[in-house]
Amino acid sequence: MAAKPNKRRRELNRLQRERENRTEVRASSSDKRRPLVGFEQYYEITSTGNVWSKRLERYIKHKFEPFNKSTFILFHINGETHALSVWEAVAKSWLTPEQRAAILAVVPREQRISAAVLKASSNLINLIASEYGVGNRVIFGLLLQGDS
């Protein structure tokens, strides 16, 4: 009989499964894409945050940050390394500055103070996301980041 994995191994296995779920590319080459702001000649991005490499002609996987359990885009251009949060890349590429300001105006600043408060507003976030045609994480990140 095989021994049970120890507690640390179970935790590492759980993190690996979570990383795989969050970085899996769930898009097809026919999905609607827009140029990634700041990197228009190299990449395009879908409204859900999948990044299409024009050079490779395929989607690239997100990187996973296990400490805050978020995903980001990491790529190298001309010897420089660039990292972008997925929600920020989608917000800048899919939403105009006026649309971002309108989204921020929906939820008062006092209610955007923490992730816990915003998670309680998940129905509102879902509604806003569907209205603007972007993912929930984009709206959540935009509200959490605020006016900066």
Taking the C-alpha atoms of residue 111 and residue 69, their distance in angstroms, rounded to an integer, is 22
Amino acid symbol at 88: E
Tens-digit pLDDT profile for residues 51-82: 888 888 888 888 877 776 677 888 888 889 98
Number of H helices, E strands in the chain: 6, 7
pTM value > 0.85: no
Q: Has residue 111 got a pLDDT over 70?
A: no
| Top-confidence range, 2-6, 60-64, 79-83, 119-123 | 79-83
